[in-house]
Structure 1
Amino acid sequence: MSKNVLITGGTGFIGSHLTDLLLENGYSVSVLSRSNRQSNTQITYYQWDLKRNYIDEDAVLNADFIVHLAGEGIVEKRWTKKRKKSILDSRVKPIELILSVLTKHNKTLDSFISASGIGIYGAKTSHKICDEETLPANDFLGVTCQIWENAVDKIDALNIRTAKIRTGIVLAKDQGFMKKITPTFKSGFGAVLGTGKQYIPWIYVDDLCRIYLKAIEDEKINGPYNACITDNTTNTRLSRLLAELYGYNIWLPKIPPFFLKLLLGEMSVAVLKGQRVSSDKIQKTGFEFRFTDLEKTLINCVK
């Protein structure tokens, strides 16, 4: 029988792409969903409800691998105190529910692989290149990612191999980051944000899913790994390339930081700041990125 991979957040942007890749590679896939969904021959749906602290235990008990992708969007809404709690809880509570089932039934897994974020290094811009040994920052993003990863460590303590995929900006056609910015650039009103010097460590969705597949299949994969291209892309470079793909040069002035702070509040740091991040560690495992040229990747996203 094929190995089963349980995905939290499996109906989302990255989860749906990963599901397709896993099925192509002979795995069976299970997905945790808040709604009743009809299982089919390829995907089995199980229910869970974080608000009620409920999870269908069979989802965990039937899994060989678990990939944790669930979590509310970082830049969907202003960072109120309530919103910050929701962002954190949506990432940590699923792990706690899964841990409770694993402990209750003395269940083991081949591995538990969790998303994380390069936000662990903090919302700031510097020339420093962050690697997996860089200490977490003390700001909201840094602390959130640290608590998120600490929750994963509790599963690691059960002698289950764990990996944490610290993800950059994920590029894909009409989804995620590109879905948010494409309409503005397509209409001819693209602009550079703030100074434009903030770095944007990016990765194409296909490569990200291949990293998850690598983490599933390679027993040497353990601990944190940065998942992004190390090419020093800045907001200015990305903005100019995207505008050129739509046939114009940026004519609007840079959007000043104070305006974005007024519009977005504290959340503005997510678009005004950005660090360089190294992908050496994942590449040393033998993983090879297929999408390393930003312009070609953007063409793939807008064509």
Structure 2
Amino acid sequence: MKPSLRKVLISGGRGLIGMRLSEMLIDAGYEVAHLSRQTGRGHYCSFRWDPSAGQIDEAAIGYADFIVNLAGASVSDEKWSEERKHEIMSSRVGGTNLLARELRERPHHVKAFISASAIGIYGDADDRMLTEETPPAPADDFLADVATQWERAAQQVQDLGIRTVITRIGIVLSDEGGALPSIARPVKLMAGAALGSGRQYMSWVHIDDLCRLLIQMMEEPEWQGTYNAVSPHPVTNKEFTSTLADVLHRPLVLPKVPEFGLKLLMGEMSEIVLASQRVSAQKVMEQGFKFEHPHLREALESFYQREEG
């Protein structure tokens, strides 16, 4: 990578993935700026934007050699009211549309556009192995519809002739946030249990592997198109829960949490934990990416063994 090509603009830079990616980019010698609704907070240079209003600092796009597009309201913070569903959709699609508009209309020197998507695009697929060639689930599946429209918005950047990489991200494992602390909390209290049937597949990725993958996609011009960002070894919910309990040295004493109970508690949002997605990492490995945390036990130990040390 030429030393001059070192400025990375991140949307969603203050989220879980964005903060870890920013740290790793700084360690690798890059300059990092965030797109944010509020500037002047945190350690990073930031440009103001408001995707819902279609507004962005005119200097933002001109700053960047690379753009990593991660912005999107959390799908798991609160129940899916119609208002919340609109926010989940518009935060992703609106932000990506805004970046595409700026790249279309302003002078820039952006070499690559790395845009997040999600494995939710595949819907509930039982135990079928899902590859990048698998068609998206129908639009009546909310998360699939969100991911499909998000990818369609990113395609506008590809159509401008800018190298575009779409990353379908699985369940991101981190002890700083996201799904893992929520799953680990009841296990630590000896109240952990598999969810629903426990047979549904969870396709996960260690946050450091994900960030290394995003950086490799950014740096190497061979990366183009759509890739699954998941570890090569998906597991069932039952296997995930029992491995986590083992790593935490806790017994699993409760029976499974029944599907109807989850639906009562979470509403439509229960599809996050009940949908089965067994997703292939073959394409990223064939492209030359090597996982540092390919197996679940070792990935979990990377977070929880240091608690004991």
The verdict on a shared fold, with TM-score over 0.5 as the criterion, is yes
Q: Which moved more, 1:193-202 or 1:165-174?
A: 165-174
| Offset of residue 24 of structure 1 | 1.5
Quote the offset at 1:109 in angstroms. 1.5
Q: Secondary structure at the match of 1:188?
A: coil
State the alpha-carbon separation in 2 of the partners of residues 112 and 125 from structure 1.
Answer: 29
Cα distance in 2, alignment partners of residues 59 and 107 from structure 1: 10
User: Identity, % of aligned pairs?
Assistant: 40
For residue 106 of structure 1, report the CA deviation from its aligned partner.
4.1
Q: Distance in 1 between matches of 2:8 and 2:31?
A: 6
Distance 1:63 1:87 in 2: 26
Determine whether 1:18 maps to 2:21.
yes
Match of 2:252 among 228, 250, 256: 250
- Rounded to whole Å, the distance in 1 between the matches of 2:107 and 2:31 is 23
In the other structure, the counterpart of 1:132 is 132
Secondary structure of 1:57's aligned partner: coil
Where does residue 204 of structure 1 map in the other structure? 206
Question: How does 1:37-116 map onto structure 2 within 5 Å?
Answer: 37=40, 43-116=44-117
> What secondary structure, in the 3-state scheme, does the structure 2 residue paired with 1:212 have?
helix
Which residue does the alignment assign to 2:170? 168
Question: Given the superposition, is the C-alpha separation of residues 174 and 29 from structure 1 closer, same or farther in structure 2, using an over 3 Å criterion?
Answer: closer
Secondary structure of 2:52 counterpart: coil
Given that 2:192 and 2:241 are in contact with CA atoms closer than 8 Å, whether structure 1 keeps it comes out as: yes
Distance 1:163 1:219 in 2: 10
Question: CA shift at 1:38, angstroms?
Answer: 5.5
- When normalised by structure 2's length, the TM-score is 0.93
Q: Alpha carbons of 1:38 and 1:125: their partners in 2 closer, same or farther (altered >3 Å)?
A: closer
1:179 positional shift:
2.1
Letter in 2 for 1:126: D
Partner amino acid, structure 1, of 2:94: K
1:29 aligned residue (14, 18, 32): 32
Q: Map of 1:234-273 to 2, 5 A cutoff?
A: 234-273=236-275
Distance 1:10 1:249, change over 3 A: same
| Distance (Å, rounded) in 2 between the aligned partners of 1:89 and 1:48 | 14
Aligned residue in 2 for 1:5:
8
Distance 1:197 1:56, change over 3 A: same
Task: Please name the residue that 1:117 is paired with.
Answer: 118
Tell me if the contact between 1:112 and 1:163 (Cα under 8 Å) persists in the aligned partners: yes
Runs of 5+ unmatched residues, structure 2: none
Deviation at 1:247, TM superposition (A): 2.2
Q: Which amino acid aligns with 1:53?
A: G
Could you tell which deviates more after superposition, 66-75 or 31-40? Answer: 31-40
CA distance in 2, matches of 1:9, 1:192: 31
CA distance in 1 between partners of 2:166 and 2:276 (Å):
20
Comparing 252-261 and 269-278, the one that deviates more: 269-278
Query: Are the counterparts in 1 of residues 33 and 46 from structure 2 also a CA contact under 8 Å?
Result: yes
Letter in 1 for 2:19: S
* TM-score, length-scaled by structure 1: 0.95
Q: Which letter does structure 1 place at the counterpart of 2:280?
A: S
What is the match of residue 296 of structure 1? Answer: 298
Root mean square deviation of aligned Cα: 1.4
| Structure 1 counterpart SS, 2:202 | coil
Give the structure 2 partner of residue 154 of structure 1. 156
Partner Cα distance (2:42, 2:127) in 1: 49
- Measured after TM superposition, the shift of residue 20 of structure 1 is 1.1
Residue aligned with 2:20, SS: helix
Residue 194 of structure 1: which of 193, 196, 200 is its match?
A: 196
Aligned twin of 2:226: 224
Contact 1:67–1:112, Cα closer than 8 Å, also in 2: yes
Q: Is the 8 A contact 1:173 1:300 kept in 2?
A: no
- In the alignment, the residues of structure 2 paired with residue 37 and residue 277 of structure 1 have an alpha-carbon distance, to the nearest angstrom, of 39
**Does the 8 Å CA contact 2:52/2:91 hold for their aligned counterparts?**
no
- SS of the equivalent of 1:51 reads helix
- What is the aligned length? 300
Offset of residue 242 of structure 1: 1.4
Evaluate the alpha carbon distance shift between residue 38 and residue 248 of structure 1 in structure 2; reply closer, same or farther with a 3 A threshold.
closer
Pair 38,239 (structure 1): closer, same or farther in 2 beyond 3 Å: closer
